[in-house]
Chains A and B, each alone.
Chain A
Amino acid sequence: MRTSLIETEQIEAHLLQLSDTGNALVFEAKMLLDPELTDNVLWQQKAYHIVKLYGRDQLKREIESVHQQLFKDEQHQSFRQKIMRLFTKK
């Protein structure tokens, strides 16, 4: 892997707490000496957050598509009626 990817891997180990104590200490010392590395740690943390939001967003779309199937397709008619009855009796 090229050097920058190795650094990305080390940042991941730091953020996801995958390193052993020795390596974690060395990494923290490197951060103290290298503000650019510290910046990259921050941006990478934000990148994980964005990936999580992306994953959640895509999952919600998949769930909505299942909902549409269940409430539109002919084959799920009895399920749909069972649910709709709950909201029409009032």
Chain B
Amino acid sequence: MTERTILVSTMEEREKLFIALYKGAFPAVARYVSKMGGTFDEAKDIFQDALVIYYEKAVAGEPDIRINAKAYLMGIAKHLWLKKFGVNSRHVSIDGIDTEEAEDVRVSDSRLLNFLQTAGKKCMELLRSFYYDQLPLNDIAETFGFSGVRSATVQKYKCLEKVRETVKEKALTYEDFLD
């Protein structure tokens, strides 16, 4: 997690980023979807999925994508549109942009998520900051009120262990879990 430029580290910063990306890139995406005969809701869904992909690539430190966010988002949006509605969409290439779309969430995973959202919200938020948002531990320690990196690390592993045990326990009750 070192050597990476931090994109945003708080919810407020993420909000500012998404407002800026919406204002900068949504008009072009909406124009494209409208031209292709799509609706406002379809443009919205596609753009929001594109934002998720953009964010995940950006926090993973993917080079280049932040240089021209608008072009990148437009590229992903076109790809998603053609994948959803186009013919031969499997062969659609978008100038070397690798778009790993969010896969559908399985029923068992979504039940487990619901459980963890209520039973272990604080742990899930901590783990999200580290593994999903890829924030540095000293930022995490500060945000979550730990005395330092060391205690944030210990708490991170405690939470991970807790989630692992929950996953294991729930796997026995959710039928499609190990498919």
Query: A residues touching B (Cβ–Cβ < 8 Å)?
Result: 1, 4-5, 8-9, 12, 39-40, 43-44, 46-60, 62-67, 69-70, 79, 82-84, 86-87, 90
Contact = CB atoms under 8 A, between A and B. Distances in A.
Chain B: number of interface residues, binned into ranges = 35 or more
A2 B177 CA distance: 30
Contact of B52 (A8, A12, A60): A60
A69 B19 contact: yes
A55 B131 contact: yes
A62 B39 CA distance: 22
Interface string B135-150: 0000000000000000
7 contacts: A43-B167, A54-B127, A56-B102, A59-B132, A62-B11, A63-B48, A87-B43
| A contact patch SS | helix
Given A1-B157, A53-B109, A63 B52 contact: yes
B55 A44 contact: no
A79 B163 CA distance: 42
Given A47-B167, A50-B112, A55-B131, A83 B27 contact: yes
B51 to A, nearest CB: 5
A54 B123 CA distance: 11
Contacts of A9: 157
A17 to B, nearest CB: 13
A39 B171 CA distance: 12
Given A55-B133, A62-B11, A46 B167 contact: yes
B23 interface: yes
B52 A59 contact: yes
A39 B167 CA distance: 12
B107 to A, nearest CB: 12
Contacts of A69: 19
